[in-house]
Amino acid sequence: MGKITAAITATGAYVPDYILTNKILETMVDTNDEWITSRTGIKERRILKDEGKGTSYLAINAAQDLINKKGIDPTEIDLVIVATATPDMKAASTAAYTATQIGAVNAFSFDLEAACSSFLFGMSVASSYIESGKYKNVLLIGADKNSSFINYKDRATCIIFGDGAGAVLFEPNEEGLGLQDELLRSNGEGREFLQATYGGSSYPSTPEAVAEGKHYIFQDGKTVFKNAVFNMADVTEKILERNQLTKDDIAWLVAHQANKRIIDATANRVKIDDSKVMMNIQKYGNTTSATLPLLLNDYESRLKKGDKLIFAAFGGGFTWGSIYFKWAYNS
């Protein structure tokens, strides 16, 4: 028997109904549709408004979509990983709640947090469990309710982020399809440029901190932008080189949707044509852990068995990386 590889065999997705358009944002902060569109590529984003519903609500719905499409029995799922930067609560695992709600009663589950790289790093973790032969059905969900820590008076962040979730199923493959290679990195010196300072263990929430909005996410956009462009392009170029791939070999670039200009810069560095760059930032904005699976779900009907994909992401921490992946099915 040949080496077992880890392939994606199904996708699912969920975004909330409420659409926050650039036009609506114009009434909330000093901004305009033209600036947001030209500087980020974003036209609208989805927001989960219902009180008491958190990231697990998004994750459960995305997983349910996958389960219905694939027709898989949830009791056969071995492991549920929820990649997220916005867990429902402290101390209580979002993945445990999600797994139970979808009927994955025989699975163990955990959350994985690496900011906007959470799903990419989750692909590595899910694949390792499959490649080792330990588990057969690993459900990886990328879900974030970013609106839970956005200050809708801060134009540097509120125009960018949205809520959503995407799910993929990893299964063993004996044709060599699925994850081929990965280059994953982090640098903790980056955390001062993108963080929600209060509400964690370093600085627990206080009434004063909340009154000053210090529990909201803050970013030094320019510094994050520069690092994202440099690092995402760098790992993407390296992974192509070390797998002897040219731009013509690649069917799709699947890049984290943080800013269209960052994605374009990555594609330009490796000379991948625009027509091969998956893009849905215009309708969802930056959904953090959900961007990559939402792309896969949106483009699923256009993906063919054997297609060579390059994934790339960059996020807070800093965290970043690239994965070379062969698609395993026609839908």
How far apart are alpha carbons 282 and 275 in whole angstroms? 16
Contact mark string toward ligand UT7, 152..171, x via CB under 6 A: ---xx--x------------
The DSSP secondary-structure symbol of 4 reads: -
Quick one: which of 12, 164, 285, 315 contacts ligand UT7 (CB under 6 A)?
315
Verify binding: residue 35, ligand UT7, rule CB under 6 A. yes
In the complex with ligand UT7, which residue's Cβ is closer, 116 or 254?
116
In the complex, least distance from residue 11 CB atom to ligand UT7, rounded to whole angstroms: 21
In the complex, least distance from residue 90 CB atom to ligand UT7, rounded to whole angstroms: 23
Strand partners, 178: 326
In the complex with ligand UT7, which residue's Cβ is closer, 86 or 109?
86
Quick one: which of 173, 259, 287, 319 contacts ligand UT7 (CB under 6 A)?
259
In the complex, least distance from residue 265 CB atom to ligand UT7, rounded to whole angstroms: 11
How far apart are alpha carbons 33 and 25 in whole angstroms? 8
Degrees, nearest 5: CA angle 251-257-260: 90
Residue 256 catalytic? Answer: yes
Verify binding: residue 222, ligand UT7, rule CB under 6 A. yes
Contact region with ligand UT7 (CB under 6 A), list: 69-77, 200-208, 215-223, 271-279: 215-223
Concatenated DSSP letters for 76-138?
A: G--EEEEE-SS-SSSSS-HHHHHHHHTT-TT-EEEEE-BTBTHHHHHHHHHHHHHHTTS-S-E
How far apart are alpha carbons 281 and 258 in whole angstroms? 7
In the complex with ligand UT7, which residue's Cβ is closer, 180 or 197?
197
Nearest Cα residue to 283 out of 59, 35, 69, 37: 37
In the complex, least distance from residue 42 CB atom to ligand UT7, rounded to whole angstroms: 9
Residue 61 catalytic? Answer: no
Q: Which of residues 116-145 bind ligand UT7 (CB under 6 A)?
A: 116
What is the sign, positive or negative, of the torsion defined by CA atoms of 274, 143, 189, 157?
positive
Strand order in the sheet with 138-145: 5-14, 163-173, 138-145, 79-83, 108-112
In the complex, least distance from residue 294 CB atom to ligand UT7, rounded to whole angstroms: 14
Verify binding: residue 191, ligand UT7, rule CB under 6 A. no
In the complex with ligand UT7, which residue's Cβ is closer, 226 or 302?
226
In the complex, least distance from residue 9 CB atom to ligand UT7, rounded to whole angstroms: 28
For the chain, state the CA radius of gyration. 19
Contact region with ligand UT7 (CB under 6 A), list: 53-61, 70-78, 97-105, 222-230: 222-230
Are 209 and 215 in contact, with CB atoms under 8 Å apart?
yes
Contact region with ligand UT7 (CB under 6 A), list: 4-12, 151-159, 204-212, 241-249: 151-159
Q: How many residues bind ligand UT7 (CB under 6 A)?
A: 21
Residue 116 catalytic? Answer: yes
Q: Which residues contact 80 (CB under 8 A, 6 or more apart)?
A: 63, 95, 98, 99, 102, 104, 107, 108, 109, 138, 139, 141
Concatenated DSSP letters for 150-202?
A: --TT-HHHHTTB-EEEEEEEEEEESSS-EEEEEEEEE-GGGGGGEE--SSSSS
Quick one: which of 40, 94, 137, 322 contacts ligand UT7 (CB under 6 A)?
40
Residues found near ligand UT7 in the complex (CB under 6 A): 31, 35, 39-40, 116, 155-156, 159, 194, 219, 221-222, 224-225, 228, 258-259, 262, 286, 314-315
Residues annotated as part of the active site:
116, 256, 286
